[in-house]
Structure 1
Amino acid sequence: MSNGPASDPRWRPLAAARPAMSAAWWQWIASRDSLTSRLASAGGQQAFRVRLLDQRLGRPRRDEALALGLPLARHAWLREVALCLDERPWVVARSVVPLEGLHGQRLDRLGERSLGSWLFRQPDLERGPLEVTADPAPFHTASGPWARRSLFRHRRFAVLVQEFFLDGMASDLRLPSR
């Protein structure tokens, strides 16, 4: 992601969103560890599952291309999954990888495995700053109160990971609307 201002004004630095966010949401949104692991732990006896929604080459959205520093017409590897507990989606994750950054990575073989489970095993993984939005609707059709994104780097590999927290998660965990 660029080091300058957010590529879209609806994506704000994490600290800027703090005053509008409840403490319960802050624990989820501000965490820098593996969301996959946190969801599996929060579910207790519920079965955690990654459900593949879409995976293809395509053009990133304008805000994604700007965040990655890609020309607007450039194609990237796009992947969307639902992170579910007992088949109920709690988070929809959208990942965007510039094609020149794949360097032989066969991410299309992940199937219904978590990208995060691979990322967080990389010893030299770097995670950029978190950006958040309280208005996820322009970026995804999933309905929920918050979304966050950050850029992960592993050597020359880079991926923009966006996580859209869904109303079902808020309801199941009895989280406030904000």
Structure 2
Amino acid sequence: MSPGWWDWLATRDSLTERLIDAGQPRRFRVRLLDQRHGYPHRDEALALGLATHRLAWVREVALCLDERPWVMARSVAPLSASHSQHRLERLGERSMGSWLFRQPDLERGPIEICASPGPFHDAEGPWGRRSVLRHDRLMVLVQEFFQQAMVDDLGLPSR
């Protein structure tokens, strides 16, 4: 893996902020693809310590610069009645990171790196990553898959 990719994959800070900074002067936008209560994939349930037949909150978005998807993201959280859960469900086309990374008690688990495309069959790109974030009683698995448009726009190596 190139050092440039390692910087993107290993960062524990907000990916949203990094995308906005790297994409200047392009306009950043979150495109909501899907948000629902559904069943997590088996590996997602394992990462969250959930039974595979338990419903969860599932959100899929494209993080775009000038309408070009740079990152496809899928987040999964156990259903709860917490205030934080309700905040997530009302995000719409706002970045989850812009809210989560302002929480002083936010904890991020280890980052797992994988080959993309992950759960997005129509997406293409070299890398993906995921980690569990915790805030208050909220636990959410955040999975981010970097797309070819980002590679092309930033001149990053394919791997």
Whether TM-score is above 0.5 comes out as: yes
Which residue does 2:42 correspond to in 1?
62
Which residue does 2:66 correspond to in 1?
86
SS in 1 for 2:60: strand
Which residue does 2:13 correspond to in 1?
33
The alpha-carbon deviation at position 138 of structure 1 amounts to: 4.9
Q: Is the 8 A contact 2:117 2:127 kept in 1?
A: no
The 2-side partners of 1:43 and 1:132 are apart by: 23
Q: Gapped runs of 5+ residues in structure 1?
A: 1-20
The alpha-carbon deviation at position 140 of structure 1 amounts to: 2.5
Report sequence identity in percent.
67
SS in 1 for 2:25: coil
The count of residues paired between Structure 1 and Structure 2 equals 156
* Change beyond 3 A, Cα 1:124–1:131: same
Which residue does 2:52 correspond to in 1?
72
The alpha-carbon deviation at position 103 of structure 1 amounts to: 1.1
The 1-side partners of 2:111 and 2:118 are apart by: 18
The alpha-carbon deviation at position 108 of structure 1 amounts to: 2.1
Indicate the larger mover: 151-160 or 139-148: 139-148
Q: Gapped runs of 5+ residues in structure 2?
A: none
Structure 1 runs of 4+ off > 3 angstroms? none
The alpha-carbon deviation at position 89 of structure 1 amounts to: 0.4
SS in 2 for 1:118: helix
SS in 1 for 2:99: helix
Tell me if 1:125 matches 2:109: no
The alpha-carbon deviation at position 137 of structure 1 amounts to: 3.7
Q: TM-score normalised to the size of structure 2?
A: 0.95
CA RMSD between the two structures: 1.1
Q: Is the 8 A contact 2:109 2:133 kept in 1?
A: yes
